[in-house]
Amino acid sequence: MSGPFTLSPLPFEESALEPVISRQTLSFHYGKHHAAYVEKLNGLVKGTCYADMKLEDVVKETHHVKSGGDKAIFNNAGQVWNHDFYWRSLSPNSAKPAGALKDAIDTYGGEKKLIEDIAAAGVAQFGSGWVWLTSENGAIRIEKTTNAETPMARGVNCLLTVDVWEHAYYLDYQNARAKYLNEVLARILNWDFAAKNLAQEDHPVRAAA
């Protein structure tokens, strides 16, 4: 794949998240959908100032655009960034929240309430989009965005995200988005990644290592 932007490697094997997310879903989601966003982005930025920017800077610079070529660049750059972040938000070796993250979750109302609220936000997202765990001044929040939108573009510190586009779950769960969310949130969230992002709130980690 030629161009300034590359498809970041998955942080786990394609079969590592089974049975929550199947190898087939990972193969299509990562190898087809995610890869297509990268390829399209490279074509769109060729010969523009964006070709020399870091991915997150492209997202921020084009976020405000409502139409035209720069809007297409945002849509694809946002989806590349979001997917990079989504893969790192998942782990086959999910551990319980600890330390400052656990304290923040307890302040929110506890892990059970947090998981329930993330699931509810994901189900409530109309159409394609994302549900996010974010932080501000050490306090955690839940946001949902549509299409390629990302809180990062507005300078919000992101801790975790779950993809609620249909291609993220349809092969495994058909139209049962709630079941997909419940399984992901209960079994494969990467709380270590969230803790790292919370600890670096003033200097958020990049989506891709």
Q: Kindly state whether residue 44 falls inside one of the protein's structural domains.
A: yes
Work out the mean pLDDT of the chain and round it to a whole number: 93
Q: Kindly state whether residue 150 falls inside one of the protein's structural domains.
A: yes
What pLDDT shows up at residue 2?
Answer: 60
Q: Kindly state whether residue 54 falls inside one of the protein's structural domains.
A: yes
Residue 58 sits in a domain of what CATH number?
A: 1.10.287.990
What pLDDT shows up at residue 164?
Answer: 98
Which structural domain range is residue 47 located in?
A: 23-88
Whether residue 193 sits in one domain with residue 158? yes
Q: Kindly state whether residue 6 falls inside one of the protein's structural domains.
A: no
Residue 151 sits in a domain of what CATH number?
A: 3.55.40.20
Whether residue 106 sits in one domain with residue 52? no
What pLDDT shows up at residue 138?
Answer: 87
Query: pLDDT, tens digit, for every residue of 89-118?
Result: 999 999 999 999 999 999 999 999 999 999
Cα 129 to Cα 149: distance, rounded to the nearest angstrom: 8
Whether residue 108 sits in one domain with residue 76? no
Whether residue 174 sits in one domain with residue 150? yes
The number of domains in the chain is 2
Query: pLDDT, tens digit, for every residue of 35-93?
Result: 999 999 999 999 999 999 999 999 999 998 877 779 999 999 999 999 999 999 999 99
Whether residue 165 sits in one domain with residue 103? yes
